[in-house]
Structure 1
Amino acid sequence: MVINLDGNWKSGKAYDLHTVSSTHLGTDEFGHDRFDNARSEMGELVYQLKYKGDTSKVQPIVALLDDIKGIEGFDFIIPIPPTKKNRPVQPVELIAEALGARRKVAVATGALTNSGDEELKGVTDPIARKELLDEALKLDPSQGKFKGKKVLLVDDLYRSGSTLRVATDLLYKEGEAAQVSVLTMTRTRSNR
């Protein structure tokens, strides 16, 4: 199931929903809500890669993306930079590298950087999210190679689209890209 994503980009797609159902199990001893989540096939692969560090899931993720046509028409694939920099496996970078190799598209890992330390999951105010992202996301000034080029931004999970919107703005304004499109592996069922 490919889901269209609306934003300031030329085109945007999420391969599938992240979870297909979720049952609230109650709260734990720390007051955190606990859920029994049923994930889509892509959602489970992303979960295993991102949270369990299972790098054997990268190739199956990229193989599922064969259903999405036109990726080979981009000049660059740029992974959205991680917020959690200490994670031993950076899933978006691994997916972008494998996708670029499979579709023969250059991957510009490091073109975007994230100096922020705050994870945005807890920030629900869209204005506050944008302000944090405007401050944290930067386009490497030595990356002038995007001028007039077609760029595909890749992320693992689409929640509200805030990060992708700020990254798209940077690539259009500072990078002078001719076209920016977006591809995420999954989309949440809500944008919180």
Structure 2
Amino acid sequence: MSIELKGNWKKGFAYDVHTLSSIYMGCDERGHEQWDTTRTEMGELIYQLKYQNNLAVIDKIIELLNIYKGLNTLDAIIPIPPSKQREIQPVYEIAKALSKKINVPLQPVLNKHPIEQELKNIENPIERETLLYKSLFLHQDVMLSDKNVLLLDDLYRSGSTLRIATDILYKQAKVKNVFVLTMTKTRSKT
């Protein structure tokens, strides 16, 4: 399944939705909410990479992305920087493997200043975008003028991060075109 993503980019896609269903099961003895979640194939692979640190799933993720033809004609792959420090940064690892597979340079030119609250916990879209504009920034000495770039992320939720990153790449890096690819998309947000 491939889902078209609309935004300020030239063209964008999510490989699949992240979950098929999620049923609330109540709280455990420590008060943590428990969910019975059924994920898509890509959703499960992302879960394994992000929360189980399973690097072995990266090859399968890259294999599934083979449905997107023409990625090898782009000039750079730009991963969305992480919001949270993890032992393994899933988006960067996927971008690195994709870069190697299609022979397109990895250009991690975007970075984030730390934000006190995780963006996924901020429901107000205006508040999310304001925080993102303050946190996302472009590295100095970026040489992407007139280039076609792929902006890569693991999960499309509201699109705020991708819209702002795209805006920065167009206005500050002067790229020619931004294309967006995410591994998954939430079912509930558009």
Shared fold (TM-score, shorter chain, > 0.5): yes
How far off is 1:31 after superposition? 4.6
Q: 2:162 — aligned with what?
A: 164
Structure 1 distance, partners of 2:30, 2:127, is: 27
How far off is 1:68 after superposition? 1.1
1:100 aligns to 2:99 (yes or no): yes
Structure 2 distance, partners of 1:93, 1:148, is: 23
Query: What is the alpha-carbon root mean square deviation over aligned residues?
Result: 1.2
Q: 1:132 — aligned with what?
A: 131
Structure 1 distance, partners of 2:29, 2:158, is: 30
Q: Which amino acid aligns with 2:76?
A: F
Q: 2:48 — aligned with what?
A: 48
Structure 1 distance, partners of 2:23, 2:61, is: 26
Q: Deviations over 1:66-109 (max 9, x none)?
A: 01111111100000000112x11000000001001111101102
Contact in 2 for aligned 1:116/1:132 (Cα 8 Å): no
Q: For 1:171-190, list aligned pairs within 5 A.
A: 171-190=169-188
How far off is 1:33 after superposition? 3.1
Any stretches of 5+ residues in structure 2 without a counterpart?
Answer: none
Among 144, 149, 153, the alignment partner of 1:155 is 153
Q: Does the residue aligned with 1:107 lie in a helix, a strand or coil?
A: coil
Any stretches of 5+ residues in structure 1 without a counterpart?
Answer: none
How far off is 1:141 after superposition? 2.0
Which deviates more from structure 2 when the two are superposed, residues 27-36 or residues 151-160?
27-36
Contact in 2 for aligned 1:116/1:137 (Cα 8 Å): no
Aligned residues: 189
TM-score by length of 1: 0.95
